[in-house]
Structure 1
Amino acid sequence: MKTINFEALFSASPNPYVLLDLSLTIVGMNDAYLHVTMRKREDLLGRNMFEAFPSDPDSSSHRQLRGSLEKVVREKTADYLSLIEYAIPLPSGQGFEERYWSATHTPLFNHNGEMTFILQHTVDVTELHRLRNLARTTILPSGPSALIETDMFRRAQAVQEANQALSEERQHLRGLFQQAPGFMAALGGPDHVFTMANAAYLQLIGRENIVGKPVRDALPEVVGQGFIDLLDRVYHSGQPFVGRSIRVHLRQSSGDVREERFLDFVYQPIFDPDGQVSGIFVQGHDVTEQKRSEEALRESEERFRAIANSIDQLIWATQPDGHHDYYNQRWYEYTGVPEGSTDGEAWNGMFHPDDQERAWGVWRHCLATGEPYHIEYRLRHRSGEYRWVLGRAQAVRDEEGRIKRWFGTCTDIHDLRQAQDALRESRERALRTEEETRRLASILAERVTELDAANEEIQRFAYIVSHDLRAPLVNVMGFTSELEGAQAEIERFYRNVRQADSNLISPEIRAAIESDLPEAIGFIRSSTVKMDKLIRAILKLSREGRRVLAPEPIDMAQLLEAQRHSVAHQLHERSAILLIEPLPDLTSDRLAIEQIFGNLIDNAVKYLHPSRPGRIAVRGRHLGANVIYEIEDNGRGIDPKDFERIFDLFRRSGVQDQQGEGIGLAHVRALVRRLGGTISVSSRLGEGSIFTVVLPSYISMSSEAA
């Protein structure tokens, strides 16, 4: 049989209470109930309500009581009987006493929101009912006696109504206490005895049946953790205690393993009418998970800083308005300035005076337009020398396209710039000897090699950062699922409250539950999915850049026929055709070639013009030691100003009504360059585009381009 510590909760109440399970079996009652019914506890426990208090099934009182209880079970809402006649068996079988009652039947729910019990609160209104009848049947319809009886009746009726309102308010407050999202408990006396605890508190400590027990007996594991001392201090001083992210180790259920939790809580003293502390009210929230989506973020930031400080590039970041607020350690080592001295707009003072106005103008233009920052300028080195560096920056945007941050790098190209300047001067004056030219070419090649190494370092950096970004992202996605689960529970509780009393729901609560919360969770979910796709794409691009090429003879007609088969469905949907004209074969890396042509054909299909049948043609020819391939379409076309931008990472052209992350063409250009070739585009808006790919007819392992 189901049990509940009913007596401990209601023993002190002067009002009669009885607890029924859903089969209407009596599982608990208080002393006041035994008094008014003149029964013993052992005579009632475990018996059906109508067996313990028999009545004629055809009587109106029997039908009235059963109907009310069945309505509570069926509709899971409270029901009230303002007046019901129900005789009480007298002790020792001496017959029945006619009694009149007012009853309230309230459903009770468990932690999962399932209805488990019915609480019956009864009020004996027999004398009030008799007084009412007397007032109605008195032979003195007027005069002092009638006035006195009428006044007495009104007073009695007012008392009954006040008691009923008080009972309803008490039940409502108890329901709110039990269903509150934060944990709450009340402690009485200097020994801190539990007098009540809500569901959230019991779930936190992992045990039940703590009412009536001192804290040191109910939670022995907290004795040595200082919490009893805190309670004693609050009780004797009358001053509340507020704790933030307090660590506590709790023993769950009957096991010996203790679980670490972090809590925000308040110990609030409770004062009696004489102003003395009679107990302590405990209220708080479990912030363990928040303390952990924070530790994880801190560790992720530390890893990012460690990585950023380990590479040779000078890395910096700004706010959307261009205010510099981060530099890696390499910046300070390179420039020799104190940390923080170049924050804000002070960075411009690090440039050569002849470059400051130009650099500042380019930066202002990028801030206004959101275009990538790309410039060469002279930066003051810690030695006092101004050295040429390549400055680049990219804006990071949110879901609505608003710029959230700028991330940039500075790469020392001083030696390369000097070599280029020197080489240009030698050509202009034609005074350099062949030996000097070879020396300069050697310097240039050495710098190119160093830049290639730097590029490889950046690829590894992109891979590591993208990989580390997935760790907190996975946590965010997991906690989003938990939020969605919590949302369902909140919505169910919200529906129950709305059915019970819609006046309890303010417009702000209604908007928060019905609109704001689903919108926020949906935004988090869509943002994490988009970020996950982007990280995967970056990881794929980074891995592809490090893959070893494997040259093999490739039948281009066969390869493109397979490509046509893979897009056959999209071609059919768009009433388009893919023509494969005569093509020269080549010896190259098959996977790279498949990805190059796959991306270009997919883009051609994706951006066909909706007003005419689509036509895509692939053709090729030999050109010395190279082969030239052209992919032509009659699609939307590309604005000439975007011819170079479309090959940049995360950049796209035209109306963005197709899915994509802006990585495809950047990946294609990187692959073409690795194979030792080039790619370019020519196009006219509204007419179509031609992508031209030039590749060596044959590559070997030793000829792989960086």
Structure 2
Amino acid sequence: MSKSVWPGCAGETAALVRTRDWSRSPLGPLDSWPDSLRILTDAVLRAPASMVLVWGDDRTLIYNDAYARIAADRHPQAFGGSVRDAWPEAWDFNREVFDACFAGEERVFRDAHFVLARNGLPCDTWFDLYYSPAVDENGQVRGVLSTVIDTTARVFAERERDRKEQHLQQANADLDALRIRLEDANRRLSADMDFLNTLFGQAPSFMAVLAGPDHVYELANESYLRLVQHRQVLGKPIRAALPELAGQGIYELLDRVYRDGEPFHGRNIDVQLDSADGVATERRILDFVYQPLKHGDGQTYAIFVEGVDVTDHALTEERLRVAQEAGEIGTFEWFPATGKLTVSDAYRRIWGFAPGAEITADLLVSHVHAGDRHLTGPDRMANDDNPIGYAEYRITRADSGETRWIARRGQSVRSTVAGERRYLGVAFDITERKRIEEDLLQAQAALHALNQSLERKVVQEEAGRFKAEDALRQAHKMEAVGQLASGVAHDFNNVLQIISSNLQLMELDGVGPQAAGRVASAVAAVERGSKLSSQLLAFARRQPLQPVVTHLGELIGGMESLLLRALGDRIAVEIRQSAGLWNVQVDRNQLENAILNMAINARDAMDGSGSLTIGLSNAPHDGTLDGDHVCLSITDSGCGMPPEILNKIFDPFYTTKAPGKGTGLGMSMVYGFVKQSGGEIKVRSTPGEGTAIAIFLPRAAGQVQAEDAVADSTIPGGVETILVVDDDHAVMATTTEMLAGLGYQVLRAGNGQEALAILGSGLNVDLLFTDISMPGAVDCASLVRQCRALSPRTAIMLASGQLPDASFDEELDLLPKPYNREQLARAVRTQLGAPAAIRPAHAPAPMAIEANGGHRILVVEDDPDTRELACELLAALGHAASGSASAEQALALLKEHEIDILFTDLNLPGLSGIELANRAMASQPALKVILASGDGHSSRIPLASGMAVLPKPYDLPQLELSIAHVATMPGGTLH
């Protein structure tokens, strides 16, 4: 091809090559171009894809028609000019790429983001960029050949697809939430219907619903069916279901109520109903109501029947009336204000008054014997609250003048008139009884003796009452001291937890032999303090127990050798066990401690020589204890105790031993343990005759559970996320460090409100580990309840130095304080279910970096103290860390130094942390970024690969995990 017509291809940019005056350009006249440049130019111009050739030290720009469309407003001015002049805003990026290519390297960028002018406006654009060195005839790199593919449409399409997927996920989540609410509403409705059906079915009054003008049975409860002898009435008209009601007026009543829509109330209605076999009829007396049920238009559609079978009550009244008449018991009603009297016929006959005669109080008093008139109602009105209380007096009958004895008894009742006094009473003739009393005078001596016996019994009852009151006062005192001991133990356990956790962490960090001995001594002191705290909680009945079904004979048999060693050779031990001994449900370890404690007390009381008898027997229910029990008794031949010491045996910190020989919590612990186990403890002691202690434990059903296998010596860890909630900052710090050392991701909250904020933020929380004693508006019980609502899949575990109260779910597991690292690890893994990574006891936590070196890290933080501390932490992890106070200074340092990881605060003065990350990763695609955010995981940052968010405040394990996380990420840029 002749140079005069080169390039020979068509197109706008080819024409520009041919027509441009190149003599003033760094490339020189067109005829002087080397063959390598001409060949590469021809290839670029003919390429169907967008291509660019950058040639020479001045980075002259030659591109084809496809690239001209990408250049948009910059074409054709950019053609033949330098890259720096054409794209000044991307010069930092282009310079680094071209320098690398001129050095013989290749560069590839996927979805590189640029802001380019389109139609005079800046627009976000994305490109796939491929850069390769271009050599001349001598093999020297003289230029860069680049292929540019516009991926903007694809990026927007992917974003739109992601947005639609997120919208769909949100819609599905909303639908799931709606479904859950509907299911919950249906459950509540079903529960309400079940409740109403149960209420209807179990109502003591009989109820039924009769529908339509034919009164068809739609509903009938158990009481109604029992009334009609359980005949099949549902679905039948009443005339077919109960034909025996014909002629009794019931059908007519129902027809009238249905027709008129007015209710009917019946009292003492006699109804004849067939018996179950249909052979006979039975008389029933009923109180009932027929209540019409109406539509909104007032039209009756059914009748509700509700009533009570008063047959027994009515017959009782009838029998009482007959008995009064047959037994000549007269009744009267007296109104003192008017003197009016209303009396029964039997009353008239007792006094000898004619039927129909008017009776007044004055008339009655006039017939009372003069010596007995002080017993009558009118004479007692002024001085007696009940003037017609029981009295016996003589009267003169009005008809015959005969003297008779009558007894009168009555009481005040409410009148229908406000403020009016009204009395009801009865009177009966006791003349014959008075005559018999004369014959009983000979029995006065025996009666007197009986009275003396009764007086002695009263004295005994009074003594028993005083003893019960003393026991009640003692129980109140023990309860008050127990509450105090519980609070002290809880706070003490928190202190022990802090000390124990820090000692364990010191052991993990490694200490010298001398320091190791001191740490071991401190750990032993913590264990002694924990034992003392456990004794306090035992007395307060707040220690966590693990009761299992136990055979006391087997438990004592397993302790026999231990008891023999503890008591010594000079004490004879005898174990007596009754045949067929029942099982109990008890915490075996605590019971063994209690038995050993009592045995040692007995040894001291016997001065090391004597006999100790342990008895096991069944104690069936006899009225003194609630239900069946098993009795464990310990009897010694020691010195015994006087009453003043026996009364204080269970008082905490009370001891008869020399100073330094005991805490005084031993028997207090036994007392609290027995009470917490649902049992009773009784002590009997006489000075010089020894002491007998009897423990009664409730009988338990079920089989005896085998002893748990010995745990292995490995400590389980994991990678799940745990939210630790504790208002004690020291406990929080040590617990968090131990969990992080086990590999877990740890979130922290100082109170219930902070914990709920984290649970409601959408973060995945696998386990909520919270202290029971939680101050503030959200206590522990509320936190547990709301956690189940906000995050049903989150497991829950409690930690405390005492038992939770009855408001807590019994299924929640409790980790007692103080706990060590192994106990914490095993409790957490139990809650999280499937086992995770296991490493031997005392193994150090996994490191985030390899042993052959760390990373080069630039810390960007405007607060100097925070920046210095971050650099110290990174140095402690083995990394090379340097600091920068601003994003602008950091960008300058990135140009001058090789950095592996950019560790920047999200909120910086000037450029923000996200803007800094954007620019840094654009200039150094292989750079990794960690954003430290004071907003925690609530920050919503669209991040590309190579970036991670670390919530503040962070600790050393969390920092280490974040570095390890970004170190394994592929390279990328911010979207």
Q: Which has the larger radius of gyration?
A: 2
- TM-score category (smaller protein): 0.3 to 0.5
Normalised by the length of structure 2, the TM-score is 0.24
Q: By percentage of residues, which structure has more helix? A: 1
